[in-house]
Amino acid sequence: MIPAEFTNVVIHLTGVKGTGMAALAEILSDEGAVLSGSDVAERFFTDTLLEAIGLVPAVGFAADHVPDGADLLIYSSAYGPDNPERAEAQRRGIPQYSYTEILGALSRDRRSLAVSGVHGKTTTTAMIGTLVAATDVPATVVVGSAVPSFGGSATLRQGREVLVAETCEYRRHFLSFFPDVLLVTSVEADHLDYYRDAEDVHSAFVEFSRRLAKDGTLVYCADDQGASSVARDVERERPDIRLAPYGFSVSGAGHVSLPTVSDGAQRFSVALEQGEREWELRVPGRHAVLDAAGAIRSLEFLTGPPSTDTVHRWRAALAGFTGTRRRSEVIAEVGGVTIMDDYAHHPTAIRSTLAGYRAFWPGRRLVVDFMSHTYSRTVALLDEFAGAFGDADVLFLNDIYSSAREQNDTGFSGERLRDAIAAHHRDVRYVPDFAEATARICDELRPGDIFVTMGAGDNFRIAASVAAGLRAEKEDG
């Protein structure tokens, strides 16, 4: 049984370097738990988060990593029951729960907002946390990335009465959560190594929406066909649920005006229940404006209608929002080149992100290095990937990143992805080796360019290598 309180509860976390697990460790530490953990030797940004709470993970997985007197083992979904630490907990009768089950338990006893969607949930949750931090709402916010406005942490911890969490649709993990308010940003085919098709994804979001508390609120992006379809299905089944749409296509409350871009900012309005308000956002892309609108609308229903002072604080906070790690993250500015990294790995997200850059920085050349994530997604969405890079002036492709959750039995390759994209794009270059890619990208770049590494694999390392290469060239020159 999951404890109602965690003070002095001895907990071991298997796979503690995952972003969600590290965020949970931060929360449990704040609530008084005694923590240990383990993971692979490779260093991640979450190592810094864990060190800040005094947790240095053991390297690898072994039975003796589970401490004597452990009350609980929490595991990342990446590790099955054959993991040595999980097997040891089973042998010793130590209760085991997944990260999502613990997060769900936390949502039961406090007012909770779940942020969900195939795209945009990390940025939207970070925006909500940034607005919450500007007020005195006693909330904990859990994001699937490090957030500069949280001091580089993946969590905001300023109270236990309210919980806001990014929730994941993969393997229906979000069904452990019990929301009072549910935000759905987008619904379409993804994770096709698990889901059968788009309809199967749709059914998972409908099932999640059914978990809303009585008289709960479903906030959804009306511009997204999948999110709107989920809302229609839920409305038929749960007439007690309040529907709160937002988007450019909405009239009345929830309407978002098309943004204007100037001086490095997007300016737009959102119609709240009490009237229209003007906002400013220094993150590129119309998709980011919709993320901001979803964040604002969700807080309206989570904490009640905002006062004039609260709206003023929210506006200032949103204007200062700089994104999250791996979401339009600026890595460096070297020799007139802006070097960025972005997590976009689904064709829809790629297309909207690159279009956002094109609108935000008109006249600048856009050079992209992309690594597709999982063979199953690449093959299933090949036609969509082929047409997703129209706004890139030059596209470098790395090998497909094979997740630990799949084997490549498709016979597909990075060369075949290149060929599919090349039918739609004038300049595609397949360079699987990172060192060679770095050298060729450095040769290609010139002052005024924007260079972005994109994808959910590990090609983000190329951004740092390119920055170092350009600095070296500058010093030598």
Confidence of residue 406 (pLDDT cuts 50, 70, 90): low
Both tokens of 99, joined, read: 């990260």
Confidence of residue 437 (pLDDT cuts 50, 70, 90): very high
CATH 3.40.1190.10 in the chain is located at: 110-319
pLDDT at 412 exceeding the cut of 90: no
Confidence of residue 322 (pLDDT cuts 50, 70, 90): confident
CATH 3.90.190.20 in the chain is located at: 329-476
10-99 has which fold? Rossmann fold (3.40.50)
Closest CA to 101 of 184, 21, 155, 212: 21
The predicted pLDDT at position 67 comes to 96
CATH number at 329-476 = 3.90.190.20
The predicted pLDDT at position 175 comes to 93
pTM of the model: 0.87
Confidence of residue 147 (pLDDT cuts 50, 70, 90): confident
110-319 has which fold? UDP-N-acetylmuramoyl-L-alanine:D-glutamate ligase (3.40.1190)
Report the percent of the chain where pLDDT is more than 90: 77
Confidence of residue 247 (pLDDT cuts 50, 70, 90): very high
CATH 3.40.50.720 in the chain is located at: 10-99
Closest CA to 13 of 146, 46, 113, 43: 46
What DSSP assignment string belongs to 18-87?
Answer: SHHHHHHHHHHHHTT-EEEEEE-SS--THHHHHHHTT--PEES--GGGS-TT--EEEE-TTS-TTSHHHH
pLDDT at 98 exceeding the cut of 90: yes
The predicted pLDDT at position 328 comes to 82
Torsional sign, CA 356, 361, 366, 368 = negative
First to last CA, the chain: 65
What DSSP assignment string belongs to 187-198?
Answer: --S--TTTSSSH
374 against 11, higher pLDDT = 11
265-272 vs 260-262, strand pairing mode:
antiparallel
Residue 123's identity, in one-letter code, is: T
